[in-house]
Amino acid sequence: MRYISTRGQTPPHSFSDAVAVGLAPDGGLFLPETLPQFTAADLARFAPLGYADLCFEFLRRFATDIPEAELRPLIAASYTRFSVPEIAPLKQLGENLFVLELFHGPTLAFKDFALQLLGNLYERQCRVRSEKINVLGATSGDTGAAAIHGLLGKPGTAIFILYPDGRVSPLQERQMACTGAANVYALAVDGSFDDAQAALKEIFGDQEFRIRHRLSAVNSINLARVLAQCVYYLWAWLRLPAHVRSEAEFVVPTGNFGNVLAGWLLQKMGVPLRGFRVATNQNDILHRLFTTGDYRLGPVRPSHAPSMDIQVASNFERFLYYSVGSDPDKVREIMATFKATGGYTFTHFNRDTFTASRCTDAEIPGIIKTIQARYGYVADPHTACGFKDLAPDRPSVVLATASPAKFPDTIRAAIGIEPTDPGLEVLKVRPIVKNKLVATPAAIRAFIEAHAV
Asked if 222 touches ligand PLP (CB under 6 A), the answer is: no
Is 255 a residue that touches ligand PLP (CB under 6 A)? Answer: yes
Positions marked active-site: 111
One residue of 135, 199, 244, 308 binding ligand PLP per CB under 6 A:
308
**Residue in 349, 317, 319, 348 with CA at minimum distance from that of residue 333:** 317
Contacts 24+ apart (CB under 8 A), 16-21: 16/63, 16/65, 16/66, 16/121, 16/125, 18/223, 19/118, 19/121, 19/122, 19/125, 19/216, 19/222, 19/223, 19/224, 20/122, 20/125, 20/133, 20/216, 21/216, 21/217
> Please, what is the minimum distance in Å from the beta carbon of residue 217 to ligand PLP?
14
Output 257 or 321, the one with its CB closest to ligand PLP. 257
* Binding-site member from 57, 112, 123, 142 for ligand PLP (CB under 6 A): 142
113 is a site residue for ligand PLP (CB under 6 A): no
402 lies in the binding site for ligand PLP (CB under 6 A): yes
144 is a site residue for ligand PLP (CB under 6 A): no
Q: Does 257 bind ligand PLP (CB under 6 A)?
A: yes
Q: Does 172 bind ligand PLP (CB under 6 A)?
A: no
Q: Which stretch binds ligand PLP (CB under 6 A): 13-21, 92-100, 250-258, 331-339?
A: 250-258
Question: How many CB atoms lie under 10 A from the CB of residue 11?
Answer: 10
- Interface with ligand PLP (CB under 6 A), residue from 111, 214, 287, 358: 111
Nearest to 309 by CA among 240, 244, 250, 255: 255
388 interacts with ligand PLP by CB under 6 A:
no
Q: How many residues bind ligand PLP (CB under 6 A)?
A: 17
Closest to ligand PLP by CB, 143 vs 179, is: 143
Q: SS3 of 277, please? A: strand
Q: What is the DSSP string of 2-41?
A: -EEETTS-S--B-HHHHHHH-S-TTS--EEESS-----HH
Minimal distance, residue 142 CB to ligand PLP, in Å: 3
Q: Does the footprint of ligand PLP cover residue 401 (CB under 6 A)? A: yes
Nearest approach, Cβ of residue 171 and ligand PLP (Å): 12
Residue 92 β-bridge partners = 98
Pure H helices in 186-257: 193-205, 207-212, 223-239, 242-245
CB 170 → ligand PLP: shortest distance, Å?
16
List, in sequence order, every residue forming a beta bridge with 435; answer none if it has no partner: 187
Tell whether residue 149 is a contact of ligand PLP (CB under 6 A).
no
Which of 186, 179, 178, 196 has its CA nearest to residue 144?
186
Position among 222, 254, 283, 410 found at the interface with ligand PLP (CB under 6 A): 254
Contacts of 422 (CB under 8 A, 6+ apart): none
Binding site for ligand PLP (CB under 6 A): 109, 111, 142-143, 220, 253-259, 307-308, 382, 401-402
